[in-house]
Structure 1
Amino acid sequence: MKRLKTTKVLLMLLTLMFGITALAQNSKKSIVSGTVVETATNLPLEYASIFAQNENNANIVSGGMTDSKGHYSFEVPNGSYYIKIEFLGYKTIELHKVAVNGDTNLGVKKVADDNQMLDEVLVIAEKSTVDIKLDKKVYNVGQDMIVKGGTAGDVLDNVPSVTVDSEGAVSLRGNENVKVLIDGKPTGLANNIQEAMRILSAESIDKVEVITNPSARYEAEGGAGIINIVLKKGKAQGINGNVTATVGDPRNYGLSGNVNIRGEKYNFYTTLSYRDGKVKGYGRNNNQYLDAKGNTTQFINEYKDNNRDRESYDGTFGLDYYLTPSLTWSNNVTVRRTNGSAYNTVDYQYYDPSYVLQYNRDRIENRKSDYNSVEYSTSFEKKFKKEDHKLTVEATISQDRSNDMANISDINDHLNKMSYERNSNNDKYKNGLVKVDYTLPIGKNGNFEAGYLGTFKTTTNNFSLANLTGNQWVTNTKVSNILEYKEQVNAFYAQYGDKITDKLNFMVGLRWEKSNIDVNQLVSKDFNNKKYDDFFPSLFLNYELDDSSSLSVSYSKRIMRPRGHFLNPFSNYTSDINFFQGNPNLDPAKTNAFDLGYLKRWSGFTLSASAYLNKTDDTFQFVKRIAGTNASGTPITVSSPINLATEYRYGFDFTLNYTPFKWWKLNGNFNFYRSEINGDYTFTNFDGTVEKENFDQNTYAWFTRITSKITLPYKIDWQVNGMYRAPYDTSQGRAKGNLSANTSLSKDILKDKATITFNVSDIFNSRKRESDTYLPQSISHSEMQWRGRQINLSFTYRFNQSKMNRQKQQKPGNGDGEQGGGEMEMM
């Protein structure tokens, strides 16, 4: 019955989507078409608006928007028309008495810059913050004032369909089974995304690409899809760049800059940044413990006060050398260093069953940490005579090291004693990558792609916990260990796309991946090897309803391999009664993903809607359990990931861009889904007892985000966004809803060569995670806030750049950070 109910809901979703499509259909009319290019460069102008009004009947209004090649077309009844072509920062073109008596092509129209600029000055597009395409969404970070002075976590938390929780975990459409890439590669920080959310500065990021159902060309990793963070790279002719300085409260001092030098045979670019910040947060766990009959035995309230300092340095250096007009050699080196310290306090309040305070216990932690990373990439791109016929070969090596040490003092008023412990957590990470991509256009519209990807990773984590006994430190052998993780994945793919008719095109692909994974606990001598291989097919169909709307259907098979903190059974012990513990026995989760998408563009308005269904076997689920007691007899609550049998997740996702006026832009996103999970879990407590819990759970969840950008008098830009995450049920309780908001003001000064920006992140200091958990042995309420309200003031100065205009020249090669480039865009 449950599956029948699921089928009915899915049929309703599909019926609604086809209903939207039917309403979008228009009767046959004459087509007005043409092309818009920039006067200075003859480059196509994307997203220019075309407005058409019948001069004899003002109620007949139509129009469209240019695509990536500057083309536009729309349908109108025959007659005489007034046509207007406009784009922010360019002079408007007005055409009167345009006769339409059948299909009419207006030819190429050139729009001129509305500002007087020097010939050698680089000009940059004032794009929408979010570009909506049928197969992905592209979030342009450079145009978002709210994230100035922030981190990658702030950036991703402003991307449609994406959320970042208080601990840095990234979700896509509410699903944490997502793969995050950096510059199209799973290297370096991309394998520790929670750390990347805190280390990467917003100023170092160019754009974020969200691909909810990737094709076979992409890694099969990530059941919910792929998020690709594209870092800034130089692309433009001559010498140009910018510098941004930031001050904030709590302390946030930052300085970043990028410089690009491009000549006829080479292109050199660099991005450098420094940041010194302080982060304040807190955590709360109120616990009520029960006996076997459900009677209260005691209450323990736990309050954490976290104060973290972090100083980081980042440097990226790149060189593209044009060996011949058709052969480019690219090199890139990235170096990162971070030093941190933290002073964390945990206050425990112990109450008897009548909620009478018995005593207090305080735990004080002093933590020091450092992180060092270096990565080198080199690639060759060979272009052949035929357009889009090319071969790319790339290799990357990287190495990361992190050291984390903490000294903890535990003061117990009840026992009138003090105890001491210390722990260290040292990570070494090495990664190698080899990638080959080949693209061959076939016929008029066909496109064949094939390639290979090999990734080779080794991670070693050395965790040690020691207690001071007498005058000697004694290692706790129960929790001290060395975890070694080795992963080798070899993958081959091929895909082909073509048009079946003028309106219908397709793309079909197949990927094969072979995995060899070792998870070894060296001290306890627990060795685990997993070898598996699988085929990952993908299929895309796209139907152009008209020149401004499209419908797509897609399917792909995906996988999610557990790694990092998911596997590591040892963590920090800031609290000794509530902590996270990884599970080295996790198996990969496999997903079958189906997506039905609809895209419609009007003049000043773009809508992207999709209905989706994901079926995931061996899905990851985070669960809490009481796992024994500590030295003083207090119950220990442990949170761990486990594999459950199956999850069905289906829902709707809507994203829209709307420009009601030249001075006002709106962007909104709404995601609604239902999750059905079935499975039981059996675990062994620290005391050796075996318990079994049922985790069958069905829940509805949704979240929405809206961003408004208004140009006020005196050319002051005001941006505000808000997000609401609705409450939802979990397998062991309920997560609370959360409402948060950010705002910023920006003003161009010094003849538009500089910009000053003021922003406030988390205006109401409300961005936190709250949940209630119900276990047989306890009832608890928890709150977590990684960082409170942040106020920043930033100053950006551009040399040989102007903010309001369009970028003249693209960097040759795979400049968008995607794997391989050249994929047929399903538009």
Structure 2
Amino acid sequence: MLVLLLLLSGYRLAAQSGTIRINHEQRSLVDVLEIIARQSRYHVVYSNDVVTDSMAVSVAAGEYAIDELLQNVLPGHDLFYRELSDKTLVVSSLKLHGIQQPAEAKGIRIRGHVRDSADHPLAFASVGLYAADRFLTGSTTDRQGHFSLRHAFDAGQSYTVKVTSIGFQSVAFAFVYPDTAQLAAITLKRDNRLLAEVQVQAKRPPIERRADRFIVNVEGSVLEIGSNGLEILQKSPGLWVDPNGNISLRGQSVMVMINDVVQRMSSADLAEYLRTLRSEDIAKIEILPNPPAEFEAEGSGGIVHIVLKRGRDEGFTSTLNTQYRQQVDRPAYNMGATFNYKIRSLYVFGTGGYGKDRSSYIATNDIRYPDQHAYNSFTNRENNNTQAMLRLGAIYEFRANQSIGLQTNLNRGKLLQQFDTDIALIDPQRVTEGSATSDWTRTPGLNSATLNYSWKIDSLGSGLKVLADYLDSENPNTNEFHSRYTYPERDAVFRNATPSTTRLYSVQTDYNQWLDAIQLKAGLKFTNTDRDNEVIHEQFESGQWLLDPGRSNRFRYQEQLLMGYASLERQFKRFSAQVGLRAEQTIMDGNSVSADIRFRRSYVNLFPSVFLLHRLDSAGKKSLVLNYTRRLSRPSFATLNPYRLQFYDFLAQIGNPDLLPEYTDRVEAGITLAGGLSWDVYYATTSNTMAQYAETVDKMIEYQIRNFGSSHRIGTSVYLPVNVRPWWSTTNNLNLYYLRYQIAEADYRNTSFNISTYQVFTIKNIGDADVFAFYRSPYLTANSDMADYCSVDIGFSKRLWNNQARLRLNVTDVFNTAREREVTQDPGATVYFYQKRPTRTVGLSFSYTFTSGKTFSNRKIEQSAEEEQKRIGN
């Protein structure tokens, strides 16, 4: 197959000088500008705040002159372009330059030159032409200070030219055409008072909706400072982040990617990592409920893709940030720095961070048995966690169309939890009181390296990428437990050590080819995982620790994944269609050395996908969508281990080597209307549904993840952005679904919804205030009923020092309403659980950016070892 892909690279379409060829209808302005850059000699320069991902255009397939194409797509978004040199085009906003939309260019062209009082050319000055205070046309100066204005001038008619530039005094003067001598040398004087007061603020909407995804704009919005990655996800439409950090979309698990790299770690480890990821490092978050074939099939609920910021300065750019948060009477703080440096064909980048978090939880557990026995406990949990991370990388472009990159990631943590519990054991004859302590220590570490080769085959975007990854993860883990009762025969002292090591390597190749109006994508990938996991259970007897072989276990696991995909996309005027097919083979070999249990499995699955889109208007702002996808969720490596791990006197976790992946088929239809209103309806059916089930065995509550036949889900979602006033904007989201499934011949049905609103208020000359409110109704998971959950957050941010610094104050869970309640029912017992975390916090954040260099576009290294990192657990 790889040979076939390389042969296809011989099919080339060379771009003609001065003309641009569009192979299929385009509906994204960003895509059009990228095509111009690929097929011409020009570097197209623009700010992400001026040209956004949500700007839609309609360009039919064909050949266009560059100026003709730009005149077609820019004016509709109040944009214009200037040719600064024979190699550079700059796209800018008429609104930011303070001029209105010019009339269609025609008539006579006049020229002029603008300079400062030191006789230096003044670039990017705004020039407007007026007649009797009526705006006629406008322009901006190039890098040498030159400008031109085109208009149907009338001889003898009076006109006025106004020239403005930030930090300079504006000038306006009249002339009678054709006497334009005054334009030859226009001088602007500096306005020191104005320069000290002017502050340019380009804001982006916090949330945008596109045809196939939601985009949460962190960079350039009020979300940019003062939060961690998990908190940003909590504010993202459609996502539910439970108090333990588990992430779901429409009630199903998701695959989390960061810069195209799937995070292959357990949900608990992923949550800890996302808490250390600073919002200052995040550019945007993409939420894809129905990903296409080029994405791995893992994640029944879809994909959450976190895109980190890219440096834009040639030379050196760096950002420093710090945050302090008070959590009731416990502090938390973090600090970090990022840098980007480019010299000629070499680009070097890096980011590092350190954080420390102390907090205190309280929890109660009430277990009631049918024979009138009961277990009551009250626990105080102290957390003292430290996390550090470092990411370094470099890219070298050894040819104009070829580059090679290397990226390394290092993560270290020290997580300390202490549990102090008061216990009451109740039976009809007596009450036994006791206390227990548990010290849980984890020191996880993860190292990874990625080698990336990229070859751009032609100017139309065809190319080949080859990626090789290596990952090494170690997770030492010890939990020591002591319990003491009024009746000493119940006393217990034991400890569990659960160290694990995981080594993973993968090789991936992706090919993309344009064939006239058709885009072909195909790729191959191989991943190998080796995991060694132990459970070492020891009892403290006669003053020493003694190994308990019956409760200890060593589990060796090896897995290979062989994957391939192909997809085809074509557009027909306002209608587009994409079909894809992905194949994944899984080969498993698990060996419980201690229990002498071994299993081997091999299975192949196909994952088809179909995406249909019909645009209802030429701008693409109104559309109908219909799609179908098939996805799966594999069990994590740790859950396949046939171990039994006792946490307390009455609680234990059991592995399940018989677990099978769950498969989800989803059909979804939706409509997007003017103003951004969108409405989706979907139906999903899941086979081999995985869920954690609680069962009572000899008064011990045992938790185990099991397969439970099929589940059916019908749902709808509504997204509504509203600009209430020029200074007040809001985004609102509603998700509602009905779920039905069976467990142990019991039929479970539940209707659940969550609703959120995000309000942003711009206070002129002061700053930005924001309010986020969220409510989730009660819902079911396996045989547990989860209570409703709600919270309200408020924040205020202020830009300082010419936008180089930002200060933010935020308060989470203002009314202290967020708490966890659940009821688990089993024929042998009913468990009532309650937990309160320090959700009401006050935080202060500060970030500062300094830059030295020229504008350029950063690049990022893609990684191939994706899905397995998510499954690395204890």
The reply to whether TM is greater than 0.5 is yes
Deviation (angstroms), 1:816? 12
Alignment of 1:536 with 2:601, yes or no, is no
Counterpart for residue 473 of structure 1: 545
Alignment of 1:491 with 2:563, yes or no, is yes
Q: Which has the larger radius of gyration?
A: 2
One-letter code of the match for 1:522? V
Counterpart mapping for 1:508-657 below 5 A: 508-546=579-617, 547=619, 548-570=621-643, 573-602=646-675, 606-628=676-698, 635-657=699-721
2: distance between equivalents of 1:455 and 1:271? 27
Deviation (angstroms), 1:96? 8.2
Choose which of 818, 843, 847 in structure 2 pairs with 1:792. 843
Counterpart for residue 775 of structure 1: 826
Alignment of 1:240 with 2:246, yes or no, is no
Counterpart for residue 184 of structure 1: 260
One-letter code of the match for 1:180? V
Deviation (angstroms), 1:353? 5.0
2: distance between equivalents of 1:363 and 1:67? 74
Counterpart for residue 30 of structure 1: none
After superposition, the Cα gap between the structure-2 partners of 1:549 and 1:440, relative to the gap in structure 1 and judged at 3 Å, is same
> Please, what is the CA RMSD of the aligned residues?
3.6
After superposition, the Cα gap between the structure-2 partners of 1:282 and 1:238, relative to the gap in structure 1 and judged at 3 Å, is same
Choose which of 658, 677, 696 in structure 1 pairs with 2:741. 677
2: distance between equivalents of 1:669 and 1:236? 36
C-alpha contact 1:675 1:699 (8 A) present in aligned 2: yes
One-letter code of the match for 1:587? L
Paired residue secondary structure (2:680):
strand
Alignment of 1:393 with 2:466, yes or no, is yes
After superposition, the Cα gap between the structure-2 partners of 1:251 and 1:671, relative to the gap in structure 1 and judged at 3 Å, is same
Counterpart for residue 46 of structure 1: 51
Choose which of 97, 100, 106 in structure 2 pairs with 1:94. 100
Alignment of 1:223 with 2:229, yes or no, is no
Counterpart for residue 660 of structure 1: 724
2: distance between equivalents of 1:532 and 1:674? 32
Counterpart for residue 84 of structure 2: none
Counterpart for residue 795 of structure 2: 744
Query: More deviation in 230-239 or 387-396?
Result: 230-239
Choose which of 791, 806, 810 in structure 1 pairs with 2:857. 810
Counterpart mapping for 1:57-136 below 5 A: 72=76, 90-95=96-101, 126-136=203-213
Counterpart for residue 484 of structure 2: 411
After superposition, the Cα gap between the structure-2 partners of 1:810 and 1:70, relative to the gap in structure 1 and judged at 3 Å, is farther
Counterpart for residue 758 of structure 2: 707
C-alpha contact 1:666 1:706 (8 A) present in aligned 2: yes
1: distance between equivalents of 2:548 and 2:535? 11
Counterpart for residue 536 of structure 2: 464
Deviation (angstroms), 1:282? 2.9
Deviation (angstroms), 1:89? 8.1
After superposition, the Cα gap between the structure-2 partners of 1:134 and 1:319, relative to the gap in structure 1 and judged at 3 Å, is same
Gapped runs of 5+ residues in structure 2? 1-27, 35-42, 56-69, 79-90, 106-135, 142-163, 169-189, 191-199, 867-874
Deviation (angstroms), 1:382? 1.0
One-letter code of the match for 1:331? L
Post-superposition CA distance 1:187-206 (Å, at most 9, x none): 55478534434454444443
C-alpha contact 2:468 2:864 (8 A) present in aligned 1: no
Post-superposition CA distance 1:35-79 (Å, at most 9, x none): 9999993578435999xxxxxxxxxxxxxxx999757489xxxxx
Deviation (angstroms), 1:755? 1.0
Counterpart for residue 18 of structure 1: none
After superposition, the Cα gap between the structure-2 partners of 1:408 and 1:813, relative to the gap in structure 1 and judged at 3 Å, is closer
Counterpart for residue 450 of structure 1: 522
C-alpha contact 1:86 1:92 (8 A) present in aligned 2: no
Paired residue secondary structure (2:231):
helix
2: distance between equivalents of 1:86 and 1:656? 29
Alignment of 1:259 with 2:339, yes or no, is yes
One-letter code of the match for 1:811? N
One-letter code of the match for 2:466? V
2: distance between equivalents of 1:627 and 1:609? 47
After superposition, the Cα gap between the structure-2 partners of 1:370 and 1:147, relative to the gap in structure 1 and judged at 3 Å, is farther
Counterpart mapping for 1:122-161 below 5 A: 126-143=203-220, 145=222, 148-161=225-238
Counterpart for residue 112 of structure 2: none
After superposition, the Cα gap between the structure-2 partners of 1:389 and 1:763, relative to the gap in structure 1 and judged at 3 Å, is same
One-letter code of the match for 2:448? E
C-alpha contact 1:147 1:154 (8 A) present in aligned 2: no
Choose which of 159, 162, 184 in structure 1 pairs with 2:239. 162
One-letter code of the match for 1:179? M
Post-superposition CA distance 1:662-717 (Å, at most 9, x none): 32221222111111213x5xxxxxxxxxxxx3232121111111111112243321
One-letter code of the match for 2:388? Y
Choose which of 389, 396, 405 in structure 2 pairs with 1:321. 396
Paired residue secondary structure (1:155):
helix
C-alpha contact 1:707 1:721 (8 A) present in aligned 2: yes
C-alpha contact 2:467 2:862 (8 A) present in aligned 1: no
Alignment of 1:727 with 2:798, yes or no, is no
One-letter code of the match for 2:518? G
Higher relative contact order (CA 8 A, sep 6+): 1
Gapped runs of 5+ residues in structure 1? 1-32, 51-65, 75-84, 100-106, 292-296, 629-634, 681-692, 820-827
Deviation (angstroms), 1:495? 0.6
Paired residue secondary structure (2:648):
coil
After superposition, the Cα gap between the structure-2 partners of 1:348 and 1:596, relative to the gap in structure 1 and judged at 3 Å, is same
One-letter code of the match for 1:448? L
Counterpart for residue 377 of structure 1: 450
C-alpha contact 1:241 1:800 (8 A) present in aligned 2: yes
Deviation (angstroms), 1:574? 4.2
After superposition, the Cα gap between the structure-2 partners of 1:358 and 1:229, relative to the gap in structure 1 and judged at 3 Å, is same
Paired residue secondary structure (1:800):
strand
C-alpha contact 1:37 1:70 (8 A) present in aligned 2: no
2: distance between equivalents of 1:244 and 1:729? 40
Deviation (angstroms), 1:92? 4.2
| TM-score, length basis structure 2 | 0.75
One-letter code of the match for 1:536? F
Deviation (angstroms), 1:221? 1.1
After superposition, the Cα gap between the structure-2 partners of 1:414 and 1:339, relative to the gap in structure 1 and judged at 3 Å, is same
C-alpha contact 1:742 1:763 (8 A) present in aligned 2: yes
One-letter code of the match for 2:520? F
After superposition, the Cα gap between the structure-2 partners of 1:235 and 1:613, relative to the gap in structure 1 and judged at 3 Å, is farther
1: distance between equivalents of 2:302 and 2:745? 29
Counterpart for residue 698 of structure 1: 749
Alignment of 1:755 with 2:835, yes or no, is no
Choose which of 424, 432, 451 in structure 2 pairs with 1:349. 424
One-letter code of the match for 1:401? E
Alignment of 1:300 with 2:371, yes or no, is no
Counterpart for residue 15 of structure 1: none
Alignment of 1:289 with 2:369, yes or no, is yes
Deviation (angstroms), 1:642? 1.0
1: distance between equivalents of 2:863 and 2:810? 28
Identity of aligned residues (%): 22
Tell me the number of residue pairs that the alignment of Structure 1 and Structure 2 aligns. 715
Counterpart for residue 505 of structure 1: 576
After superposition, the Cα gap between the structure-2 partners of 1:345 and 1:754, relative to the gap in structure 1 and judged at 3 Å, is same
Deviation (angstroms), 1:183? 2.5
Paired residue secondary structure (1:251):
strand
